Amino acid sequence: MTVRHSRAAARVGFTLMEVLVVVAILVVLAGVGGVIYMRYLEDAKRDIAKTSVQSLAQAVEAYKLRNGDYPDSLLVLTEPQDNGSAYLEESALVDPWQQPYVYERENRNQRTGKPRIYSHGGNQADQASVISNW
């Protein structure tokens, strides 16, 4: 009986190899989870930018209806109009990547005549990442 008891007592903990395998599995799972999480964050930023560009376009159209022409810049929309409130807050003029939205008053859509409003997105060098109102 003493022989069995001593073998069981010797096998109480994990071997170094077992611990390393578990740690390796955890590292792989954390890496995959991190990549998926970062992609989710980037997609969320793109969705926020799309919604913000549409809101800016609506504010520009509202300004045009009230004043007869498009504003010279988006900053005009942050100023109170005729003792009323402003169309937008200044924080609405910055995209999720902390870059200002671009407003091109003279660059109009040929079909609708609306000025172009856009964000460069997360990668300013890539034209495919541009988020625009047309």
Coil, strand, or helix at residue 112?
A: coil
Helix, strand, or coil (residue 110): coil
- Residue 2's pLDDT is 56
* Superfamily for domain range 18-132: Glycoprotein, Type 4 Pilin (3.30.700.10)
Q: What is the pLDDT of residues 65-90, one digit of tens each?
A: 999 999 999 999 999 988 788 999 99
Sequence ranges of the domains in the chain: 18-132
What would the mean pLDDT of 93-114 be, rounded to a whole number?
Answer: 92
Mean per-residue pLDDT of the chain:
89
pLDDT of residue 3: 58
Closest CA to 48 of 86, 88, 94, 90: 94
| Cα gap 87→1, rounded to integer Å | 87
pTM of the complete model: 0.75
